[in-house]
Amino acid sequence: MHQYTQFYIDGQWVDPVTPKTLEVINPATEETCAVISIGSEADVDKAVAAARRAFESYGYSPRQQRVELLEACVAVYQKRFNDIAAAISEEMGAPKSLAVTAQAGTGLGHLKEAARVLKNFEFEEDLGQHRVFKEPIGVCGLITPWNWPVNQIGCKVAPALAVGCTMILKPSEVAPLSAYVWTQIIEEAGVPAGVFNMVNGDGPGVGTALSKHPGVDMMSFTGSTRAGTLVAQNAAPTVKRVAQELGGKSPNIVLDDADLEKAVTQGVMHMYVNTGQSCNAPSRMLVPRAKLEQAEAIARAATEKVVVGNPASDETTMGPVVSELQFNKIQDLIQKGIDEGAKLVVGGTGRPEGLEKGYFVKPTVFSGVNNEMTIAREEIFGPVLVLIPYDSEEEAIRIANDTPYGLAGYVQSGDIDHARQVASRIRAGNVHINGASGGFNVPFGGYKQSGNGREWGHHGFTDFLEIKAVEGYAA
């Protein structure tokens, strides 16, 4: 069992000001796999002070120094790659194959992309006799979730380091193990003391203290919309910038000219990646009403091929959900779907057969769903897909946009021009045509209650920069 009871502040591993611990539960076994410390406002004060001191030099460091620092992080990360993957699998139940091929790879991808972008990023722009500078915003509070833990750490820490910011990371207390490995990587790579700090804790404690701290210049938060609004409220009195990547209830429009077998199968399997615990999961599949029964049969067949079980097994394609809290929430929402009259195509309440322990959920498909049902409105954050029939393309677009969220959308069509036309009308930050996915250079973020700002690549630098205009610079 891991004992991760220290925080990383000012280049040192230190004990919390007030000792308080929390057990971390392995969701596949329901057993304690680690003990961490829970921080307080006093720990945040220490970390912010260290970050402010470090910013006095790091905020003005040469570009090449920061490029070399990111490249050093890449080198150490590659050495610790398997440790990152193992930590993710243990803390949040990702199958070994997913932890290695996707989860761990995202952290490395963001570091490499930030180094690439930084080499040619334009921090200055001349407008006649005047010059506009893009400068690091200062000290950043970073709050990251448990579902793609290293991805979200990487897409915040890498650009912040690149542009010259200093930071305090609060990883999820539900899945903090990979954050410890990340912090060890930062330390070994030689990131200067105080530039990167890590304090474990919960939202009401460390999260609130960071959000309202007058020494923090901006907050970058990924998590639920409910928690994101609290971060913004706490940040408001100090008028700090708040970047948010929040929830989603993403539509997947299968157009009448799509290859139904391919489109439905692809949408179903995408839904089950990471056990449905992705904010951009295609959780609402819209299909022509005349093809609904066919879609149900295809979805059932695809779901029956999913292998739920031990994340360490090479055969497993879907692991547990992250916690008992999530398990119970998902069970309640599946039952809600049944109670509200949706047709249960496959899955349902309870654990899959043969799994008596662990937070395993049956991959579930509902059909005959209308967009007013709870399972069509709420973000379930589990392996639950709803099939919604539509009678016309206009109706499909209207249903797709009839949500408080706007993180992602999906369009399936046999005609690329047709798909592009429909994609242009989806109110979401990322729209995927025929299963395409973006690279680390493509901006990620949402409309409406899915957040604001953008992460990843060149666009991901923006939230960490202030704009300064110096008039008469060339006079």
Instruction: Give me the half-sphere count of Cα atoms (radius 13 Å) on the Cβ side of residue 437.
Output: 9
How far, CA to CA in Å, does 274 sit from each of 97, 429, 452?
11, 21, 24
Largest CA distance in the chain: 77
Which pairing describes strands 12-14 and 343-346: parallel, antiparallel, or unpaired?
Answer: unpaired
User: What distance in Å separates the CA atoms of residue 231 and residue 453, rounded to the nearest whole number?
Assistant: 15
How far, CA to CA in Å, does 332 sit from each of 27, 177, 328, 375, 392?
18, 29, 6, 10, 32
Contacts of 217 (CB under 8 A, 6+ apart): 137, 138, 139, 140, 240, 241
Catalytic amino acids?
245, 279
* DSSP code, position 467: E
CB 243 within 8 A of CB 463: yes
CB 377 within 8 A of CB 395: no
- Token pair, residue 467, equals 């704009």
Closest C-alpha to 330, from 355, 363, 300, 308? 363
Rounded to the nearest 10 degrees, the angle between the axes of helix 393-401 and helix 416-423 is 40
Q: Is 433 exposed, middle or buried (0-12, 13-18, 19+ CB in 10 A)?
A: middle
